[in-house]
């Protein structure tokens, strides 16, 4: 029994004598929330530390194609799309990057 008590006492001593307490930890800086870019359109937000505004959008559609004579075990129809629209004002005008990824028949 003496072999088990000694490691437990050592762990308790380390925990009790540790200099870092929860109150001593530095406070994390507070970052502001998303800043909207109304000049670019609805849904755009400014990227922190830059002049770029970005909008992420998409959609998902699901359904079942059930026709007479094809049985009840027809495969479901699923379609989705993700779009990322980035806009930045430059000396030459607005630069736009647009990426859209999709699958399905819709």
- What pLDDT, in 10s, does the model give residues 88-98? 999 999 999 99
The whole-number pLDDT of residue 99 equals 95
The residue assigned the tokens 């799309």 is 81
Alpha-helical regions (H) of the chain: 2-17
Q: Residue 104 falls within a domain, yes or no?
A: yes
% residues pLDDT > 70 (the chain): 62
Q: Residue 28 falls within a domain, yes or no?
A: no
The whole-number pLDDT of residue 70 equals 63
% residues pLDDT > 90 (the chain): 31
* Element housing 94 (H / E): strand 93-103
Q: Where in the sequence is the domain holding 44, given as residue range(s)? A: 35-68+75-106
The whole-number pLDDT of residue 77 equals 78
Q: Residue 54 falls within a domain, yes or no?
A: yes
pLDDT digits (tens, 9 = 90+) for 34-59: 888 888 889 999 988 888 999 999 99
Q: Residue 7 falls within a domain, yes or no?
A: no
Are the C-beta atoms of residues 69 and 48 closer than 8 Å to each other? no
Q: How many domains does the chain have?
A: 1
Q: Residue 52 falls within a domain, yes or no?
A: yes
Q: Residue 97 falls within a domain, yes or no?
A: yes
Q: Residue 9 falls within a domain, yes or no?
A: no
Q: Residue 30 falls within a domain, yes or no?
A: no
Residue 20 has pLDDT above 60, yes or no: no
Q: How many C-beta atoms lie closer than 10 Å to residue 48's C-beta?
A: 10
């Amino acid at each position: 029994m003496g072999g088990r008590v000694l490691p437990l006492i050592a762990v308790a001593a380390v925990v009790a004598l540790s200099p870092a307490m929860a109150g001593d930890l530095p406070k994390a800086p507070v970052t502001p929330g998303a800043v909207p870019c109304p000049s670019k359109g609805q849904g755009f937000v400014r990227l922190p530390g830059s002049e770029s505004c970005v909008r992420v959008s998409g959609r998902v559609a699901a359904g079942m194609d059930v026709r007479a004579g094809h049985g009840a075990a027809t495969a479901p129809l699923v379609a989705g799309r993700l779009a990322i629209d980035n806009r930045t004002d430059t000396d030459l005008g607005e630069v736009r990057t647009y990426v859209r990824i999709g699958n399905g028949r819709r």
